[in-house]
Amino acid sequence: MKEISKLNITKSLELFQEATELIPGGVLGARKPVDFIEGEYPIFLESGKGCRLTDVDGNEFIDFLCGYGPIILGYREEEVDDAVYKQIREKGFCFTLTQKYQNLLARKLTELVPCSELSVFLKTGSDATTASIRIARAYTNKLKVMRCGYHGWHDWCVEMKGGVPAKLFEDVFEFQYNNLEQLSDLMEKHGDHTAAIIMTPFGHPNHQEMQIPRPGFLEGVREIADRYGAVLIYDEIRTGFRLSMGGAQKLYGVTPDLSVLGKAIANGYPISVVTGKKDVMMAAAHKLFISSTFFPNSDAFIAALKTIEILERDNVLENIWQKGERFMKEIQLLIEKHDVGAELTGVAPMFYITFKKDDTGAYKGKRRDFYTQMIRRGFFFSPYHHAYISFRHTEEDLELTLEAIDNSLATIKRK
């Protein structure tokens, strides 16, 4: 088999060197070179269209990161962008007072999301998860929080604790997905003082295999929340408008009190939502303050309304599930064919290829080799984050990806 050569990423590296003199660390968050494979992945992108990306060196990739989730349709989706351009040109989007589009979007959410009765609109996932905790604390007059999953970078939930006083997260306790006994033990100790249980209803922990809910798990969490009078919050930043139009709560049939939405709702435009039961949400009207100059900006409302229109009109999620399920079946066959310890987890719209952990740490080398092969072959995945399927991934794109996975696993097997 022909050896695949390393990508030319000269311009990316030059820009990164320049960035280190202008930006702390060069780039922020999960876009740092160490969050991929240093020296193999580009650091700066130039453009995107459909499901394809082009970096500053001219390398083209079929992309499965989808901007870390927001791109449910495709990059530069003309119908969505044209609706936003029209709003900007003809009416504007940033004003002292609110435009009517917040009402249109909030009403649409009540039609789609099981728990949605009232909504608050913000910009980022971290904004929304933090607002949901503040609402739950104001509603219950309680302090403690049980959490499961990644919920953003704010003080109460950030994984890296640098710069965060311990007192700001000392009342937040973590439990593991699908571990109902662990949550029960925590609530037996802290339940009477617990304001909220916040969790991802579908298990997508950072750097780890994905998990679907075991029978009775979500129902058990719902019962525990009810027993102690805690607000049950689903963090559906990733699963909302991707697993179903009503999110994972609609797919799995268990309804929370509040839900947090973002990412796929507007195909890349910045918007997030806290939506939920009226009695809980009304705490946001009377007991606390949520405000930002940019929260009411209508460009993202317009993008969300148009994205939802397309999702419904074109049966987008049905399309993603159908091709994603076929794709995952083929990946599983390749994993069995090569038998190098690869594992596939997740569901059709969101999946992850990992390698079985071992005492020698050999799985780390396999992971590095696999994702090095994939990026060199022109397929953009992350070694440390799950992948997404978008509407603009074609069957041909997926066939090409399967061929690359086949060859990449074969390379590991030879080694």
Question: At CB < 8 A and 24+ separation, what contacts does 351-355 make?
Answer: 351/210, 351/324, 351/386, 351/387, 351/389, 352/204, 352/209, 352/210, 352/385, 352/386, 352/387, 353/381, 353/387, 353/405, 354/208, 354/209
Contact 363, 46 (CB under 8 A): no
Q: Where in 296-391 does DSSP place strands (E)?
A: 342-347, 350-355, 379-380, 387-388
Q: How far apart are CA 208 and CA 384, in angstroms?
A: 8
pLDDT at 207: 82
Of residues 214 and 1, the one with the higher pLDDT is: 214
Q: How far apart are CA 154 and CA 125, in angstroms?
A: 10
Question: Residue 206: pLDDT above 90?
Answer: no
Phi, psi torsion values for 242, nearest 5 degrees:
-130, -50
Contact 201, 214 (CB under 8 A): no
Question: Residue 401: pLDDT above 80?
Answer: yes
Q: Is the dihedral of CA 260, 263, 264, 270 positive or negative?
A: positive
pLDDT at 294: 96
Mean pLDDT of the chain: 97
What is the SS3 assignment for 196? strand
Q: For the domain covering 80-313, report its CATH number.
A: 3.40.640.10
What is the SS3 assignment for 25? coil
pLDDT band at 1 (very low <50, low <70, confident <90, very high): low
Question: Hey, which CATH number is domain 10-75+316-414, 1.10.260.40, 3.40.640.10, 3.40.50.150, 3.90.1150.10?
Answer: 3.90.1150.10
Q: How far apart are CA 200 and CA 360, in angstroms?
A: 32
Q: How far apart are CA 274 and CA 261, in angstroms?
A: 7
pLDDT tens profile 373-399: 999 999 999 999 999 999 999 999 999
pLDDT at 60: 98
Name the residue with tokens 């086949």: 406
Position 126, amino acid:
S
Question: Residue 2: pLDDT above 90?
Answer: no
Question: At CB < 8 A and 24+ separation, what contacts does 46-55 make?
Answer: 47/75, 47/76, 48/75, 48/76, 49/74, 49/75, 49/76, 50/74, 50/75, 50/76, 50/392, 51/75, 51/390, 51/392, 51/393, 51/394, 51/397, 53/380, 55/9, 55/11, 55/12
Mean pLDDT of 36-41: 97
Of residues 408 and 29, the one with the higher pLDDT is: 408
Q: How far apart are CA 130 and CA 150, in angstroms?
A: 12
List CB contacts of 33: < 8 A, sequence separation 6 or more.
16, 26, 39, 41, 43
Question: Residue 283: pLDDT above 80?
Answer: yes
pLDDT band at 302 (very low <50, low <70, confident <90, very high): very high
Mean pLDDT of 110-139: 98
pLDDT at 209: 94
Indicate whether this model's pTM tops 0.95.
Answer: yes
pLDDT band at 406 (very low <50, low <70, confident <90, very high): very high
Name the residue with tokens 């590095």: 368
Spans of all domains in the chain: 10-75+316-414, 80-313
Phi, psi torsion values for 226, nearest 5 degrees:
-65, -40
pLDDT at 97: 96
DSSP 26-56: SS-GGGSGGGS-TTTS-S-EEEEEBTEEEET
Name the residue with tokens 């119908």: 79
Q: Which two tokens stand for residue 139?
A: 């509603």
